[in-house]
Amino acid sequence: MSLTNKNVLLGIGGGIAAYKSADLVRRLKERGFDVRVVMSQSAMEFITPLTLQALSGHPVASSLLDPAAEAAMGHIELARWADLVIIAPATANLLARINAGMADELITTTCLATEAPIALCPAMNQQMYRNLATQANLTSLASRGYTLWGPASGSQACGEVGLGRMLEPVDIAELAIQFFASSDAVQLKPLAGQSILITAGPTREAIDPVRYISNHSSGKMGFALAKAAAEMGATVTLVSGPVSLSTPKGVVRIDVESAQNMLDAVMNNVDNKDIFIGCAAVADYRINDVATCKIKKSTEEMQLALVRNPDILATVASLPNRPFVVGFAAETHDVETYARDKLKRKNLNMIAANDVSVAGLGFNADANALRVFWPQGNQDLPATDKLSLARQLLSLIVKEKTNT
């Protein structure tokens, strides 16, 4: 894929991570992108426009009220020029202003004026990132089509450790390449003619008529996979546990409750499928003896006898004419060890693992990061919004299935 005609507008917010922007410009240029830079007023306190001008080969834009620039409607010109806008670092303040639709300086005005997709690379103190206001802004932005790249977790300039570090420039540059590859892939519809069965969401295992055992899965990752697969031309059937999500356009949805219900639905629909993706968080156990009436509170302790549920992934993988089988592994520690064991033990073609102990990623979040393993290789997919991640994972599946 040629990147020589791809235009990237880099917006730099006013945070300490702005010092990485010079390296980011260089990384993007090395990969063939044409790069222009727009800076917030506060960003110029951290790095000079002259440095970025020398690296990008273009004048740096910063002032909304620059007479020379506005003679040619500078903010509109930049907005129309861009094929992709990357805001890095996207500080808490800048995210709030973009979410509010403010046009108070050139960088926010350009975000309003462009029709190009916008990728936000959050960078801030870990407590600021976890603040409910920031999380609400990120959720709102993701729901309106903004792409989230990061943040990463690690040591921060303030001396604290946690989620909030801007992704490294080399990772952002690679995500830009993957973005255009995914966009081109969607246009070329690489899954045209393929039939895909996906499971999503939690299952509920009844205790009595009013109580059940379940988990924190929101179904967002599975629904993102269904949406992305349909965009890429596949015929998609989605078997979903109880969730509060809208069915993606063009997707056939089957709603279920329990693990047994989900297995029955999968087995009734798996014939002639090319790909099966088990993204649901299926309960490992169910109640041995479900009460027919509500259990009344009577003793200080109550014991429930559990029996193992059927293994949907292993069942599909053992079929004589099996599809290409992809599993998910939500872990809290030793992610690679458990993922590789599950890949081998269940005879899967591929497994996507994520660490659900990381705040802001995984269950109920709009962003996720995956470590993908298959018998001949592996690849890390850095934190981003779940739809972008789904497109990247599907591209990996297409590539590996073709090579199998």
Q: What is the pLDDT of residue 194?
A: 93
H or E element, residue 138: helix 132-143
Range picked from 145-154, 278-287, 350-359 for highest mean pLDDT = 278-287
Whether this model's pTM surpasses 0.75 = no
**Is the preceding omega at residue 89 within 30 degrees of 0, hence cis?**
yes
16 class by beta-carbon count within 10 Å (0-12 exposed, 13-18 middle, 19+ buried): middle
Tell me the average pLDDT of the chain.
88
Lowest mean pLDDT among 117-121, 152-156, 313-317: 152-156
Mean pLDDT on 9-31: 94
List all residues 6 or more positions away from 201 whose beta carbon is below 8 Å from its beta carbon: 217, 218, 219, 222, 240, 241, 242, 243, 245, 280, 281
Q: What is the DSSP letter of 134?
A: H
> Over the stretch 217-266, which tens digit does the pLDDT of each residue have?
899 999 999 999 998 889 999 999 999 999 998 999 999 999 999 999 99
Q: Can you tell me which residue has the tokens 């094929």? A: 83
Q: pLDDT band at residue 68, thresholds of 50, 70 and 90?
A: low
Fold of 189-403: Rossmann fold (3.40.50)
In this structure, the dihedral spanned by the alpha carbons of residues 193, 320, 202 and 300, taken in order and rounded to 10 degrees, is 180
> Over the stretch 316-335, which tens digit does the pLDDT of each residue have?
999 999 999 999 988 888 88
What are the structural domain ranges in the chain? Answer: 7-183, 189-403
**Is the preceding omega at residue 151 within 30 degrees of 0, hence cis?**
yes
Rg of the chain over all Cα atoms, to the nearest angstrom: 23
Q: What is the pLDDT of residue 143?
A: 78
- The CATH number of 7-183 is which of 3.40.50.720, 3.40.50.1950, 3.40.250.10, 3.50.40.10? 3.40.50.1950
Could you write out the DSSP letters of every residue in 280-341?
SB--SEEESS--SSPPPP-SS-----EEEPP-HHHHHHTSTT--EEEEEEEESS-HHHHHHH
> Over the stretch 155-186, which tens digit does the pLDDT of each residue have?
777 777 778 889 999 999 999 988 887 665 55
Q: Are strands 350-355 and 324-331 parallel, antiparallel or unpaired?
A: parallel
Catalytic site positions? 158
